[in-house]
Amino acid sequence: MTDQAGILPGISVANESHKRLAKRHAAERRFRWYGIFALLFALAFLVFLFGSIIGKGWTAFLQTSAHLDVYFDPAIVNPSGSNPVDQDELMRADYTKLARTALYKVLDVNTDERKERFAANKLLSRGVDVQLRDIVMNDPSVIGKHREVWLLAADDVDALLKGSIDRDIPEARRGISDQQVKWVDQMVDEGMMKKRFNTGLFVNGASSYPETAGLGVALIGSFFMMLTVILLAVPLAVAAAVYLEEFAPKNRLSDVIEVNINNLAAVPSIVFGLLGLAVFINFFGLPRSAPLVGGLVLSLMTLPTIIIATRAALRAVPPSIRQGAMGVGASKHQVILHHVLPLALPGVLTGTIIGLVQALGETAPLLMIGMVAFVADYPTNPLEPATALPVQIYMWATAAERGFIERTAGATMVLLAFLIIMNSAAVYLRHKFERKW
Amino acid sequence: MEAKLEEAQATRVQPPVEPEQMPGALPEDKRVLKMAAKDVNLWYGEKQALYDVSLDVFDNSVTALIGPSGCGKSTFLRCLDRMNDVIDGVKIKGDIRLDGKDIYASDVDPVQLRARVGMVFQKPNPFPKSIFENVAYGPRIHGLARSKTDLEEIVVQSLTRAGLFEEVKDRLDEPGTGLSGGQQQRLCIARAISVSPEVLLMDEPCSALDPIATARIETLMDELKSNLCIVIVTHSMQQAARVSERTAFFHLGNLVEVDDTTKMFTNPVDVRTQDYITGRFG
Amino acid sequence: MSSLAILAFLLIAAVVAYFVGNYRSNAVSEGDSRILHSRPSYHGAYLAIWTVLPALLVLAVWSAAERPVLQYIAMQEMPQSVLDSSEAQKSLTMNVVDSIAEGLPKLSPQEYETVRKAGYGFVTTQDARDVLSKHHVILGSNPEPYLLRAADEYASKRELSRILLPIVCFGLAIGCFAWGYLRIRPKLRARNIVEHVMQAGLLAASTVAVLTTLGIVLSVLFETIHFFQLVPPADFFFGTVWDPRFSAAGAGPDSSGQFGLLPLLWGTTFISLVALLVAVPVGLFAAIYMSEYANTKVRTFSKPVLEILAGIPTIVYGFFALITFGPFLRDMGAAIGIDVSASSVLTAGIVMGVMIIPFVSSLSDDIINAVPQSLRQGSYGLGATQSETIKKVILPAALPGIVGAVLLAASRAIGETMIVVLAAGIAANLTLNPLEPVTTVTVKIVSQLTGDLEFNSPQTLVAFALGLTLFVITLGLNVYALYIVRKYREQYD
């Protein structure tokens, strides 16, 4: 633009303008590269993030177990010999001893050596008693018989087999002794110890031992919360959107509602947690850690998202359809119920899924209402204590044991899998029902 | 493609009415007053769009509303079935009667009014449902059919009257949006007449159609008027001349002149009408 | 009968009423539905509304009021000393009453008599405690007789309420059903009535959002005022030391620490600034590239990348920062001889920046696309290159909108919780060194409210003051940013 000399004839001037042009084109290329770098940065980070989580987490889906021939010694399980067996007695029996006895036999442990016994004991998870108890409780007829069972190995053994404990570092710093390593190798060679698919990750409740901790309670809690959101937020949001888009008169109240919804969508999620704590728990006296309260808070949080999406979907239905229906004498409600809403349904569904995705991944407000809880038993209704998937991740992420890092990454993969499935459903819906008017 | 051909054949059988053979209006004493508008004023917010419009509409005839774009003819048409009610900020003053009853009276349900005064729009707007459902919708919401066979009969009859039945009888379950433009518009007419309206309002029904489809619709109007009264807004003077008995000329929100079509096009009273008809503006 | 069961019954009644109304309208029209003003289904809905709505309203009000009313009744049994005690003390007392009342219905008649006698001092309260513990009502100490009386009163009135409620609800439902049934005539404008009720329902639904905001403001404000009665506002807003100490129940006034907001606010600002330094250039250039340069192939590939980034829950970013990115930065620093804390400002800031990249880029994308094509063509027509057009024409034109987008992103960053909870520090430092840890407002809200804390202590209540601060700041940013963006859009509409 300032290059007026360039239009004058003359070799030197032309040269000058040539140089200038080259410079400008170089600037153009640089600029273009900035954009490419920006996209590559985002991509690289995404790959880094997924890589790191999958790299750390995939092993969580496998868990080391030992195959032992356990003798359900009546003297230990049912010392009183009562028939039928006393349930309380079964609950209290020392099942760990059964497992250890079986292990000593396999490893040829000198049971008189306290130290050796201790070292062997450490190979098994502290959760084996529950495993054996469940077997007996389900089928008391095993008492007095031998049974081959897979019992969970200890966290450190699992880490050793997964390679997260380095065999080459000195014994003192390793956390697992040479003797134990030898035993583990021996059992692995004999096929008595191996990594198996970790169903416990999906069904177990909270536990202080990584190897027995699972997402069961969190999955149920999240399910209850999603149910609450679907039952509460979706109808409310659709009704609100229909009102605002189709009925609201142009007045102060409508403006207030409108501005309000837009701002509510940008309120930090943690503030919703404070609301839940102050209103639902302190004022209405609902129990802490209850999925119902979590669901209520998440419903309020996702309300604006679904309202905004639904309004967009309603707006996309062309006015000619409304006029056509009105022209044959349909009332406004009939027009909306019979024509507009059915046509807007795919958009509403997509918005709903996006809202659910947001709710499923949300953590901060749930911390406020006491979802950070150690819950070992399945909740049977939405008022019993539970955790949620992202909260479980938070709790494991802040736990000290090494085994929990792997669990956390595994749980993150489970969460991401859910989100990806839901998002894909939304994308699919959008494509399938996309309508050009 | 096939539909086009059929339409073309239909046209050959029944050529559009030539201006010379313009249908004569009924003599004054045989006319039956159907709708009467008196001193209708209408505002969109602050802006006034209609000024003291008074117009009588007679049964079994076609009344055409003509005028340059933005003159208020469509706005006036929408007053007749209270379609303006749904627009925010519209204020209407004046008196519009259907069979002598004020349609803006507080006890009149606009929904029921619109069943008596049907409407066909500029752009064909079939519902994205099957052809059958499109026509059955009106009778259903108004409870006009006692049984399923009743409903089917109404649908077939409406489609037949709209001259569409032969073309679609084998595909009543297919979506109405799959038809050609002209067929869609006739489907909309079938939909409108399915609730047996007494008045049919048509808002530039042919402006989005090709000449052949237009001719088809015009013939149809001629047939329909034996049962009802038609008010049509058109931007084409030729069309007004071809189909209507009476014509009203709107200009800048005023009803300038209304008279028998023949008279209007041969001997207009107002200068503005004359200018418009002779193509000096518009 | 529980409220839930009543609700279920009412819903069943609604379905029945719907069919009855439907049938009745057919009967009154003698089968000719054309003479009906409204379709039979509307008559059905009309009758269903009459049947359910009044009963439902009573049920809702009753259920909400039951607890406060019962507590009030129970309080009448309490001596003056309890009535004069603090709110916290009263709620503790009420909890004991609650748990005793919970156990009373499970007792056998004799056992119940024992508890009643204990309430009036005929037997010792130890006996009552033993009886109750048999039914899994474990009390910490022998209950005061007045507690037993209050619990008895509470339980018996609740029993009464549980009996009366269904009677009232069902009576109302039947009465209103009869009333509605008799009103069904061919001329009844059932559709209009049903639609009015529906519309009222829709309006009510749309006010939920307003109520939510109101609830947030009121509840948080209420607790904040509570907090300011314990700690002077000036100490909170202008204090430079954050040291809330530990809150122990019954601790003396000395135990209340210092609640200086400034270090937290600085930490929040610092981390958000780092986040914006990452997100704004990357997001903006990504948006420019995608809207001005990229072909469809690049776009179909890069759009999902950004969408996935946007869809990752913040807890995942936080975990990533904690486990991978923090240690990664620390090791990088160690490799070149700089001491980087694993939970430094840089860690949290960069990860948060990545989180808001998609936010910035999608907002900028909208804004850049709103710049009219004619401006671009004008610039190209002068022989400007594409980058010159963008730099000299489009960006200046879009600047207000982009500023708005950046403000919205800033409000996101300020309110972000999980990344900083996991990846930022917990010590409140006033530092300018991005390699050291700082803490944020949101981190402190979480840490003050998790764990078993006494609710009415300043240590807990400060979280609400922090929450209010956060709410006001983000709301201010949002309102201003949305205002800018709207003005910007209007300019090109």
SS (H, E, C) A93-122: CCHHHHHHHHHHHHHCCCCCCHHHHHHHHC
Confidence of residue B27 (pLDDT cuts 50, 70, 90): low
Min CA distance, B262 vs chain A (Å)?
31
The residue written with tokens 């009924």 in the block is B26
Across A59-77, average pLDDT: 87
The reply to whether C23 and C148 lie within a common domain is yes
Kindly state whether A333 is in contact with chain B, defined as any CB-CB distance less than 8 angstroms: no
Percent of chain C scoring above 90 in pLDDT: 38
CA distance B245 to B24: 6
Residue of B nearest to C35 (CA): B143
Boundary (domain end) residue, out of C172, C188, C204: C188
Per the CB < 8 A criterion, the answer to whether B135 and B190 are in contact is yes
The count of structural domains within chain C is: 2
The reply to whether C7 and C111 lie within a common domain is yes
Min CA distance, A406 vs chain C (Å)?
10
Burial of C202 (0-12, 13-18, 19+ CB in 10 A): buried
Mind listing the pLDDT tens digit for each residue in C238-279? 888 888 876 444 444 445 578 889 999 999 999 999 999 999
In a domain, B263, yes or no: yes
Minimum-distance CB partner of A343 among B128, B138, B192? B128
Read off φ and ψ for residue C52, nearest 5 degrees.
-95, -40
Boundary (domain end) residue, out of C129, C160, C188: C188
Structural domain boundaries enclosing B147? 59-82+111-277
In a domain, B156, yes or no: yes
Structural domain boundaries enclosing A34? 2-58
CA distance B238 to B277: 10
Q: Beta strand B47-58 with B33-44: parallel, antiparallel or unpaired?
A: antiparallel
Boundary (domain end) residue, out of C165, C188, C211: C188
The residue written with tokens 């057919």 in the block is C26
Kindly state whether B140 is in contact with chain A, defined as any CB-CB distance less than 8 angstroms: no
Give pLDDT, residue B12: 42
Give pLDDT, residue A194: 86
Is the Cβ pair C192, B109 closer than 8 Å? yes
Min CA distance, B246 vs chain A (Å)?
24
In a domain, A209, yes or no: no
Examine the pLDDT at B57 and tell me if it is beyond 60: yes
Nearest residue to A62 (alpha-carbon basis) of A169, A195, A232, A219: A195
SS (H, E, C) chain C: CCHHHHHHHHHHHHHHHHHHHHHHHHHHCCCCHHHCCCCHHHHHHHHHHHHHHHHHHHHHHHHHHHHHHHHHHHHCCCCHHHHHCCHHHHHHHHHHHHHHHHHHHHCCHHHHHHHHHHHCCCCCHHHHHHHHHHCCCCCCCCCCHHHHHHHHHHHHHHHHHHHHHHHHHHHHHHHHHHHHHHHCCCCCCHHHHHHHHHHHHHHHHHHHHHHHHHHHHHHHHHHHHHHHHHCCHHHHHHCCCEECCCCCCCCCHHHCCEECCHHHHHHHHHHHHHHHHHHHHHHHHHHHHHHHHCCHHHHHHHHHHHHHHHHCCHHHHHHHHHHHHHHHHHHHHHHCCCCCCCCCHHHHHHHHHHHHHHHHHHHHHHHHHHCCHHHHHHHHHCCCCHHHHHHHHHHHHHHHHHHHHHHHHHHHHHHCCHHHHHHCCCCCCCCCCCCCCCCCHHHHHHHHHCCCCCCCCHHHHHHHHHHHHHHHHHHHHHHHHHHHHHHHHHHHC
Residue of B nearest to A339 (CA): B127
The dihedral region occupied by C245, where left means phi > 0, alpha psi between -120 and 50, and beta the remainder, is left
CB interface of A with B, residues 293-322, below 8 Å: 318, 320-321
Across C350-359, average pLDDT: 94
Domain of residue B230, CATH code: 3.40.50.300
A352 vs B86, which has greater pLDDT? A352
Give pLDDT, residue B5: 43
Examine the pLDDT at C140 and tell me if it is beyond 80: no
Across A199-221, average pLDDT: 89
The count of structural domains within chain A is: 3
Is the Cβ pair C34, B109 closer than 8 Å? no
The reply to whether C267 and C179 lie within a common domain is no
Across C399-415, average pLDDT: 92
Across C8-22, average pLDDT: 92
Minimum-distance CB partner of B195 among A323, A328, A339? A328
Examine the pLDDT at A4 and tell me if it is beyond 70: no
The reply to whether A85 and A104 lie within a common domain is yes
Average of per-residue pLDDT values in chain A: 87
In a domain, C377, yes or no: yes
The reply to whether A164 and A261 lie within a common domain is no
Mind listing the pLDDT tens digit for each residue in C421-431? 998 888 888 88
CA distance C67 to C72: 8
Across C412-433, average pLDDT: 89
Across C389-410, average pLDDT: 90
* pTM confidence score: 0.85
Domain of residue C364, CATH code: 1.10.3720.10
Q: Is the dihedral of CA A275, A295, A385, A381 positive or negative?
A: positive
CA distance C428 to C264: 6
In a domain, A211, yes or no: no
The reply to whether C172 and C300 lie within a common domain is no
Is the Cβ pair C33, B146 closer than 8 Å? yes
Residue of C nearest to A33 (CA): C289
The reply to whether A261 and A191 lie within a common domain is no
In a domain, A210, yes or no: no
What residues contact C252, with CB distance under 8 A and at least 6 apart? Answer: none
In a domain, A45, yes or no: yes
Confidence of residue A218 (pLDDT cuts 50, 70, 90): very high
Q: Which residues in chain B are closer than 8 Å to C37, comparing Cβ atoms? A: 109, 112
Across C136-158, average pLDDT: 82
Give pLDDT, residue A12: 61
User: Two tokens at B14?
Assistant: 């029944």
Is the Cβ pair C202, A282 closer than 8 Å? no
Q: Which residues in chain A are closer than 8 Å to C421, comparing Cβ atoms? A: 364, 367, 394
Min CA distance, C172 vs chain A (Å)?
26
Q: Name chain C's partners: 3 or more CB pairs within 8 A.
A: A, B
Across A33-46, average pLDDT: 93
Q: In this predicted complex, what is the ipTM?
A: 0.89
The reply to whether C173 and C321 lie within a common domain is no
CB interface of B with C, residues 119-148, below 8 Å: 141-144, 146
SS (H, E, C) chain B: CHHHHHHHHHHHHCCCCCHHHCCCCCCHHHCCEEEEEEEEEEEECCEEEEEEEEEEEECCCEEEEECCCCCCHHHHHHHCCCHHHHCCCEEEEEEEEECCEECCCCCCCHHHHHHHEEEECCCCCCCCCEHHHHHHHHHHHHCCCCCHHHHHHHHHHHHHHCCCHHHHCCCCCCEHHHCCHHHHHHHHHHHHHCCCCCEEEEECCCCCCCHHHHHHHHHHHHHHCCCCEEEEECCCHHHHHHHCCEEEEEECCEEEEEEEHHHHHHCCCCHHHHHHHCCCCC
Mind listing the pLDDT tens digit for each residue in C53-101? 999 999 989 888 888 888 888 888 788 887 777 666 777 788 788 888 8
Confidence of residue B10 (pLDDT cuts 50, 70, 90): very low
Which of B106, B108, B111 is the mutation pick for testing C, counting most C CBs within 10 A?
B111
Is the Cβ pair A249, B120 closer than 8 Å? no
User: Two tokens at C87?
Assistant: 């709110």
The reply to whether A20 and A108 lie within a common domain is no
The reply to whether C165 and C291 lie within a common domain is no
Q: Name chain A's partners: 3 or more CB pairs within 8 A.
A: B, C
Nearest residue to A148 (alpha-carbon basis) of A72, A224, A62: A72
CA distance B236 to C436: 79
Across B193-214, average pLDDT: 90
Give pLDDT, residue B8: 44
In a domain, C408, yes or no: yes
Domain of residue A321, CATH code: 1.10.3720.10
Kindly state whether A436 is in contact with chain B, defined as any CB-CB distance less than 8 angstroms: no
The reply to whether C471 and C348 lie within a common domain is yes
Burial of C76 (0-12, 13-18, 19+ CB in 10 A): exposed
Min CA distance, A320 vs chain B (Å)?
6
Residue of A nearest to C465 (CA): A274
State chain B's maximal CA–CA distance in angstroms.
57
Minimum-distance CB partner of B121 among A327, A338, A339? A327
In a domain, B101, yes or no: no
Mind listing the pLDDT tens digit for each residue in A101-126? 888 888 888 878 888 888 888 888 88
Question: Other CB atoms closer than 10 Å to residue B93's CB: what's the count?
Answer: 12
In a domain, B103, yes or no: no
CA distance A39 to A123: 48
What residues contact C403, with CB distance under 8 A and at least 6 apart? Answer: C481, C484
The residue written with tokens 């007419």 in the block is B189
Which of A277, A280, A408 is the mutation pick for testing C, counting most C CBs within 10 A?
A277
In a domain, B102, yes or no: no
The residue written with tokens 């009925």 in the block is A247
Is the Cβ pair C312, A260 closer than 8 Å? no
In a domain, C425, yes or no: yes
The count of structural domains within chain B is: 1
In a domain, B12, yes or no: no
Is the Cβ pair B143, C36 closer than 8 Å? yes
Structural domain boundaries enclosing C164? 3-188
User: How many angstroms separate the Cα of B203 from the Cα of each of A195, B77, B225, B230, C284?
Assistant: 76, 7, 16, 11, 48
Is the Cβ pair B109, C40 closer than 8 Å? no
Is the Cβ pair A46, C309 closer than 8 Å? yes
Is the Cβ pair B144, C31 closer than 8 Å? no
In a domain, C145, yes or no: yes
The reply to whether A103 and A50 lie within a common domain is no
Give pLDDT, residue B281: 66
Kindly state whether B128 is in contact with chain A, defined as any CB-CB distance less than 8 angstroms: yes
User: How many angstroms separate the Cα of C73 from the Cα of each of A119, C84, C100, C151, C394?
Assistant: 63, 16, 15, 10, 70
Kindly state whether B87 is in contact with chain A, defined as any CB-CB distance less than 8 angstroms: no
Give pLDDT, residue C265: 93
Is the Cβ pair B191, A328 closer than 8 Å? yes
Residue of A nearest to C194 (CA): A333
The reply to whether A305 and A392 lie within a common domain is yes
The reply to whether A171 and A295 lie within a common domain is no
Percent of chain A scoring above 90 in pLDDT: 36
Examine the pLDDT at C452 and tell me if it is beyond 70: no
DSSP-derived letter for residue A165 is S
CA distance B15 to B216: 9
The reply to whether A76 and A225 lie within a common domain is no
Kindly state whether B74 is in contact with chain A, defined as any CB-CB distance less than 8 angstroms: no
What residues form DSSP beta bridges with A196? A63
In a domain, B31, yes or no: no
Q: Which residues in chain C are closer than 8 Å to B141, comparing Cβ atoms? A: 39
Confidence of residue B7 (pLDDT cuts 50, 70, 90): very low
In a domain, B256, yes or no: yes
The reply to whether C59 and C184 lie within a common domain is yes
Give pLDDT, residue A142: 84
Across C26-39, average pLDDT: 80
CA distance B203 to B84: 13
The reply to whether C325 and C454 lie within a common domain is yes
Q: How many CB pairs under 8 A join A and C?
A: 257
Q: Which residues in chain C are closer than 8 Å to B109, comparing Cβ atoms? A: 37, 189, 192
Is the Cβ pair B143, C31 closer than 8 Å? no
Give pLDDT, residue B11: 41
Residue of B nearest to A338 (CA): B137
CB interface of B with A, residues 99-118, below 8 Å: 111-115, 118
CB interface of A with B, residues 383-412, below 8 Å: none
The reply to whether A46 and A98 lie within a common domain is no
The reply to whether C174 and C33 lie within a common domain is yes
Is the Cβ pair C464, A274 closer than 8 Å? yes
CA distance A125 to A137: 20
Please, what's the b/e burial string for C214-243 (b: 16 or more CB within 10 A of its CB; e: otherwise)? ebbbebbbebbebbbeebeeeebeebeebe
